[in-house]
Amino acid sequence: MEETDYVRAKPVAEDSNADPINIDDGRYNALREDLEADARDFEAPTWSLAVDQEYLKNYSKEAIKRQDVIHELIQTEINHVRTLKLVLGVYVRELRENLQMDETRLERLCPQVENLLQVHQLFLDRLKQRRVDSMEAGSTQNYCIHSIGDILIAQFSGEIRDRLQYCYGVFCSHHTDAVNFYKDMMQNKKFQALIRKICQLSIIRRLGIPEIILLITQRITKYPVLFERVIKYTEVDSEEHKSLVRGLDLLKDTISQVNTHVDDVEKAARLKDLSSKLEPKSQVKMTHGRVFRREDMLQDKRMLLHEGMLNWRLTSNKSKDVLVLLLSDVLLLLLEKDQRLTFASLDGKPAVISLLKLIVREAAHNEKTMFLISASSDTPEMYEFHTSSGEERNTWRDKIWKAVELCPEDEEEEPEELSEKIQDFQRRLYIYDAMIEQNLTEKLKLFTSITAYVTGVTDISPSERHLLRGNVSEPLQGEQLLAGALKDVENLQNLLVTCEYSQTPPPGEGMDLVPLPKRPDAFRGFESETCMLPGSGIESYSNEDLELSADEEMTPQSWSAFLSVFFPKAELYDIANRLSQKLYSLQSVVQQQESHIELQRATIEELMSRPRGNSLLEKEKHRNLEKQREELVNFQRLRNQHRQEQVQWEQERERQRVQAEIREKELSERELECNKLEEKLAEDKQELARGRMEYQEDLERLRDTMRALEKEKEKVEQLQKKYKKYEKNENVPNTATFPLENEQIQLPPPYPILNVVTPSFEERPPLVPPRRESIINLPVKTEVPLHLISTTNQSHKAGSVQQKIPTKLAAQPKGKEKHSKHRNSHQRTNSAAGIEVSQLLPIKVAGKEGGSLRAVRSNSPHQLRPDTFMPPERLSSAAPSHSGNGSRKHNNNHNSHSTHSGQHKPKDNAAAEDIYFF
């Protein structure tokens, strides 16, 4: 067995030696009741199944779907709260009690779970309370929640949003760390046994810590889907729709902030991991001369923005793959070797590039190349980097430019950067200013004490014992002090002038007082009788009241009383005290201002004496500014073009709208016309249907007729068969004669050869009446058999019954047969039985051309054979009747037409008799 397998199997083997841990399932009855109370009234999977079906009929499908989504939202929130309560009430409790796990490790395993439970429990309580408020009167299960937008806005805004954002940011960012910590703890046999016992509890339902961490992490990402579904089934432009949209926006912003926090934590962890791969004492100089150490990578304000491998092209036409780290203020170039990192100080160029004066340029000839120009030092440095693709180059360019823009323009000058001499001047100036301020303060306190002792006034405000300060927030404090001091001086002058007039001694005392010289404007305004001194509250009197007569003598006691009345000593000391305070304060402020001015002048001279940066950065900024101006001009042009296009689009839309209205009108007219045509078409269809029915009826009748004709055709075919039998005996000579009244009758063949009529036969034979009609009226003749013929019975036979056969027919029977065979269209044209079923053509009696029978009486009788004779009744029954018989006149007593013979003259034809067919 390998060593790793042994390490993995060792904790499992030691489980048997672990202390038995017994967890009573009954201790969680209170928690179970709490969970059941949360899930009460939400056992049904959907809202449509939770309410009565009769109540459900009052709502549309959209409203039902909306309530189903809200029901699902509440159910999922109940499940999430249940998961959080299980973590706190079971896992954290058991780990704290059985394993005495400290709060730090518990927080690492389940970070911010308690705060998340408070936030989600509040959200669930609001949703359940809204359900109670929406309950139908008199019902315990029928409800319809009409609005939840305000609840969503309250949940994802304000203080609750900040808590939710922070808690989920911490939990999601520590998701990987919590899972790894759980796996490490599972190596402990007691922890493993405890987790196994907890998972066996009925309330847990085998829900492990990794599954719980994953469910909590994914919960915030489930809200947008549910909110969007609620918005989908909410009426647009309603207040509820607006509230839901706003709540969704707040939720998405919260999720975005959580993702940003997670990304920042991951990048901080990545930066920490990279710094740990550097040597502990690694340091390198930056482009502006500072020293950059490994510890500087983990400063609070420094963040990792982007990282990747780039190919650094050196001046010696060599290249080196370096790991580039883009931080918030610097760009690091690192070399990786043996899973360790070092600063890439190649070609004598710094490996740490400051973003303060960094310029990014693209190579015109290569889309994968970019140049970095650092102008933060006296000698600018240029770096050439190559990327694997143009997209990667653009990504690096954009991120570096964004970092440069966010980087502060000027670096904060630290106090140690000033020269030691300027620092010494600053320190000495501060000391002297403090000494001056202290001395002036002591002097003011002393003068205030003197004033209180002389005047006897002890109620002096504390502000009069301290100097007034010239703060930065009050830049005009010195001017105010000076104005107040001038005002107090004027009051003091007025008071002294008043005292000068009132303190003139009597002339007998021998006191020579020299009058003070007066300026022309010094005592202007005091010549009125009685006036109030401005700002002093002291009355002045006119000269007349103050003058003493020469006769009046003043004693020293009266002089002192006079001075005590007319000399305001307290006011004088008060004005002097205030004047001193303002003057001392002004002096202190002036000293401080002078110190600050001199210090600033020295600092500016020191900074100006330093070498300034190259003007390349200013040029680059100017170029960028010009580029931005051009982009702004192009933007303005595009915006104007867009406005013009918008106006044109509006006009085009109006034109299309008018055309649409016209087309709609035309369409309506065409629709009316089409409706009329449809009605007409329907009528035509009905008419066609009626015609079709009539046609079907006619067709049925025609079919019946065709069937009858088929039957008749079969009969005709039978007759044709019998006729063929007769044709076999056609060539037998028949020379029998019968002596009928001394006339000889020559019998023709029983039937001539009949031609079948075809549609191509152009000559129509004459219409012949049916044989049935021609034979019905004939008297029944009793024929005498041949063996009974005698002179006696033949003498009683009338002469009209003798049949005369034409000589031509009797002499040339074969010629007729050939003629009939030559013309196929004239077969059986002289017999009614030869007419075809498809077309019924009348029989035409042909003239000299032939095609018909011609009978001529003969005086000699002919002997007839009974086996070859066919009665006319059978022939007449097989031939159909024709309606065309009335167009020609026929003899009712005869069955054939007479024809003129070519061998007789016209006068003999008139005396000739008709020919009869038997």
Among 199-208, 550-559, 724-733, 897-906, name the one with the lowest average pLDDT.
Answer: 897-906
Residue 525: pLDDT band with limits 50, 70, 90: very low
Higher-confidence residue of 196 and 526: namely: 196
Q: Which residue has the higher pLDDT, 493 or 682?
A: 682
Q: Residue 517 has what DSSP assignment?
A: P
φ/ψ bin of 863: left (φ > 0), alpha (ψ from -120 to 50), beta (otherwise)? beta
Which one-letter DSSP state was computed for residue 291?
A: E
Judge contact between 806 and 904, C-beta under 8 A. no
State residue 294's pLDDT score: 83
Q: How far apart are CA 324 and CA 341, in angstroms?
A: 11
pLDDT category, 597, cuts 50, 70, 90?
confident
CB neighbours of residue 607 within 10 Å? 12
pLDDT at 872: 44
Look over the chain and give the mean of its residue pLDDT values, rounded to a whole number.
Answer: 72
CA distances from 245 to 130, 145, 716, 775 (A): 19, 17, 98, 110
What is the mean pLDDT of the segment spanning 599-616?
63
- Average pLDDT on 699-718 reads 93
Buried b (16+ CB within 10 A) or exposed e, 330-342: bbbbbbeeeeebe
- The two beta strands, 352-354 and 358-362, are unpaired
Per-residue pLDDT, 22? 66
Averaged pLDDT, 830-842: 44
- pLDDT, position 81: 94
| Structure tokens given for 249 | 């926006």
Q: Give the burial string for 244-256 (b: 16+ CB within 10 Å, else e).
A: bbbbbebbeebbe
How would you write 537-571 as a 3-class SS string?
Answer: CCEECCHHHHCCCCCCCCCHHHHHHHHHHHCCHHH
Distances from the Cα of 86 to the Cαs of 16, 79, 108, 113, 761, in angstroms? Answer: 28, 11, 17, 11, 113
Residue 64, pLDDT score: 92
**Residue keyed to tokens 């950065």:** 617
Question: Residue 348's pLDDT is what?
Answer: 81
Q: Over range 649-677, report the average pLDDT.
A: 92
Cβ-proximal residues to 794 (8 Å cutoff; 6+ apart), any chain: 738, 739, 740, 784, 861
Task: Identify the H or E element spanning 332.
Answer: strand 330-337
Whole-number pLDDT of residue 185: 92
Place of tokens 């007691």: 190
What's the whole-number mean pLDDT along residues 470-483?
A: 54
Q: Is the pLDDT of residue 89 over 80?
A: yes
pLDDT in tens, 3-37: 333 333 334 334 444 455 667 667 788 888 989 88
Give percent above pLDDT 70 in the chain: 60
Compute the distance between CA of residue 918 and CA of residue 916 in angstroms, rounded to an integer.
6
pLDDT tens profile 547-588: 443 344 455 455 445 545 555 666 776 777 777 777 777 777
Predicted local confidence at residue 582, as pLDDT: 73
Contact 95, 194 (CB under 8 A): yes
Q: What are the φ and ψ backbone dihedral angles of 36, each rounded to 5 degrees?
A: -65, -35
Q: Mind listing the pLDDT tens digit for each residue in 96-132? A: 988 888 888 999 999 999 999 999 999 999 999 999 9
Residues 6 or more apart whose CB falls under 8 angstroms from that of 282 comprise 293, 294, 342, 343
Residue 446: partners with Cβ closer than 8 Å, 6 or more residues away? none
The pLDDT value given to residue 77:
94
Residues sharing a CB contact under 8 Å with residue 490, sequence separation 6 or more, in sequence order: 534, 535
Give the residue with greater pLDDT, 362 vs 474: 362
- pTM for the full predicted model: 0.49
| Range 586-603 average pLDDT | 74
758-809 pLDDT, tens digit per residue, is: 444 444 444 545 544 444 444 444 455 555 555 555 545 544 444 444 544 4
Average pLDDT (602-614) is 60
Which pLDDT does position 347 carry in this prediction? 80
The residue-averaged pLDDT of 408-427 equals 60
Which amino acid, 218? Q
480 pLDDT exceeds 50? yes
User: Is residue 684 predicted with pLDDT exceeding 60?
Assistant: yes
Residue 538 identity (one-letter amino acid): I
pLDDT tens digits, 155-186? 999 899 999 999 999 999 999 999 999 999 99
User: How far apart, in whole angstroms, are the C-alpha atoms of residue 163 and residue 158?
Assistant: 9
Tokens 């210090």 appear where? Answer: 599
Question: How many other C-beta atoms can be found within 10 angstroms of the C-beta atom of residue 299?
Answer: 11
Q: What share of the chain is helix, strand, coil (3-state, %, to 5)?
A: 60, 10, 35
Helix intervals (H) in 729-867: 771-776, 791-795, 807-811, 813-822
Tokens of 27: 């201790």
User: What does the alpha-carbon distance between residue 789 and residue 862 come to, in Å, rounded to a whole number?
Assistant: 12
> For residue 520, is pLDDT > 60?
no
- Express each pLDDT in 717-750 by its tens digit: 999 988 888 887 765 555 444 444 444 444 455 4
Q: What is the pLDDT of residues 271-309, one digit of tens each?
A: 988 888 888 777 887 766 678 888 888 876 788 899 999
Rg (CA), the chain: 70
- Please give the single-letter amino acid code of residue 76: T
pLDDT tens, 47-68?
989 888 888 888 999 999 999 9
Report, as an integer, the average pLDDT of 498-525.
45
**d(Cα 249, Cα 242) in Å, to the nearest integer?**
11
Note the pLDDT of residue 868.
Answer: 44
Q: Which two tokens stand for residue 30?
A: 């209170």
The better pLDDT of the pair 809, 618 is held by 618
Side chain identity at residue 689, one-letter code: A
Tell me if 909 sits within 8 A of 900, measured CB to CB: yes
Q: What angle do CA 261, 267, 268 make, to 5 degrees?
A: 90
pLDDT at 754 over 80: no
Residue 285 in tokens: 């100089």
Which domains can be identified in the chain, with CATH numbers?
6-151+174-217 (1.20.900.10), 278-410 (2.30.29.30), 420-505+523-547+561-614 (no CATH), 729-918 (no CATH)
Q: What does the alpha-carbon distance between residue 4 and residue 735 come to, in Å, rounded to a whole number? A: 142
Distance of CA 98 to the CA centre of its chain: 53
Q: Residue 538: which pLDDT band, with cuts at 50, 70 and 90?
A: very low
